């Protein structure tokens, strides 16, 4: 594999730049793959949450659950409306959103797309390398005063 710099130079590169560049690249890749099947990443998150909620979810529950999720939060309202409009979710009289059969089918297709995307992105990267990368990033975040505790 060719890298951007020799090791001696790469070790002095700013982590902030590389994490930003990685995030930008990987988000565009994942979102592009989902867009190709007619769904946005936030819509995928909503369908996933509705699918795994036995009694459906309220708009407030969805927005609250994703408030810190990559700065989406209240911006999910138009996605919720569109999912209902597309009949992927149905809004019941009790105000809860439930996934429809069409929503389940698209969710399944999106899940398969996400799994294929993960396989592509992880090509030639062992689970051990991936785990080390995440642990190093979390240590750096903690060193910078960040919170890496699970939600």
pTM of the model: 0.84
Within a domain: 73: yes
Instruction: Check if the beta carbon of residue 84 is closer than 8 Å to that of residue 102.
Output: no
User: What is the chain's mean pLDDT, rounded?
Assistant: 91
Percent of the chain with pLDDT over 90: 72
Asked if the structure places residue 50 within a domain, the reply is yes
For residue 1, tell me if it sits in a domain: no
Q: What is the pLDDT of residue 77?
A: 86
Residue 84 has pLDDT above 80, yes or no: yes
Q: 10 in a domain, yes or no?
A: no
Q: Answer yes or no: is 133 within a domain.
A: yes
Residue at 41 is within a domain: yes
Question: Residues 23-34: what's their mean pLDDT?
Answer: 95
Residues 44-74: tens digit of each pLDDT:
989 999 999 988 999 988 888 877 665 666 6
Q: Is 5 part of any domain?
A: no
Number of domain units in the chain: 1
Residue 118: give its domain's CATH number.
Answer: 1.10.10.10
In a domain? residue 89: yes
The pLDDT tens digits of the residues spanning 98-151 come to: 999 999 999 999 999 999 999 999 999 999 999 999 999 999 999 999 988 876
Range of the domain at 75: 15-140
């Amino acid at each position: 594999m060719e890298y951007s710099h020799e090791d001696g130079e790469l070790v002095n590169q700013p982590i902030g730049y590389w994490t930003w560049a990685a995030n930008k690249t990987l988000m565009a890749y994942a979102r592009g793959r989902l867009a190709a099947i007619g769904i946005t990443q936030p819509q995928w998150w909503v369908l996933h949450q509705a699918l795994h909620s036995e009694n459906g979810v309220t708009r407030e529950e969805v927005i609250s659950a994703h408030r810190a999720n990559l700065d989406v939060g209240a911006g999910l309202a138009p996605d919720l409306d569109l999912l209902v409009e597309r009949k992927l979710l149905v809004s019941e009289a009790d105000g809860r959103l439930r996934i429809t059969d069409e929503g389940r089918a698209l969710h399944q297709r999106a899940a398969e797309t996400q799994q294929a995307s993960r396989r592509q992105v992880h090509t030639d990267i062992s689970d051990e390398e991936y785990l080390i990368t995440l642990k190093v990033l979390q240590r750096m975040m903690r060193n910078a005063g960040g919170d890496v505790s699970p939600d």
